Amino acid sequence: MRKTALVKVSGDLVQRPDVLEWLRELAKSNYVVICTGGGVQINAVFEEKGYGRNYGTLGRNTKTFEERQLARDILEKNQAELQDLLAANGIPATVLIPVLDIGSVLCHVNGDVFVLTAYLGYDALWILTLEDRVAEKDRQVREIWSAFGGGKYKEDFPAKLHIKGFPGTVG
């Protein structure tokens, strides 16, 4: 049976050839589902509109429907662009965003939390980010894992969860 992999891709990495090549290789031996991010883009628009960042461990705390819809629009744009890019490059993968529609209420979920919710179903979980974010991302994900009963902070961290950094720095 084919293995499964859920990959959260930072919005900063979506268009990069090295990331596309990595996804191509992963898709050769796995059914790949990609959760696209957009936090940096959303933060920029929220700051521009005066909403602030209001970001906690579980994700972005939005106060209004307008904020939720704006964030969703950015994520859906990233989703559509990535789907087109994958198709143009012959990379088979399904792309989704970390927004749940629960009873017609938009519920934004931190992409890393979203990945952890799939722990029991997928063979491999990947979080792709920039190299200079790996250490902080690792700390954050371990904190979330521990908070949700995943065991001890370091000792019980799931072996099937991987954080991969790609060259570059935060703009």
Chain segment 77-88, per-residue pLDDT in tens: 999 999 999 999
CA distances for 137 relative to 50, 112, 128, 130, 132, angstroms: 26, 9, 10, 10, 9
| φ, ψ (nearest 5 deg) of residue 107 | -120, 105
Q: What distance in Å separates the CA atoms of residue 158 and residue 2, rounded to the nearest whole number?
A: 21
What are the sequence ranges of the domains in the chain? 15-107, 123-131+142-166
pLDDT of residue 87: 96
Query: For 60-72, what is the mean pLDDT?
Result: 88
Q: How far is CA 36 from CA 12, 94, 133, 157, in A?
A: 10, 10, 17, 23
More confident residue, 66 or 59: 66
Most confident of 108-112, 120-124, 157-161: 120-124
Digit-coded pLDDT (tens) for 126-155: 999 999 999 999 888 888 887 776 655 455
The H-assigned helical ranges of the chain are 17-29, 39-49, 65-88, 111-117, 134-147
53 or 2, greater pLDDT: 2
d(C-alpha 74, C-alpha 84), whole Å: 16
Q: What is the value of pTM for the model shown? A: 0.87
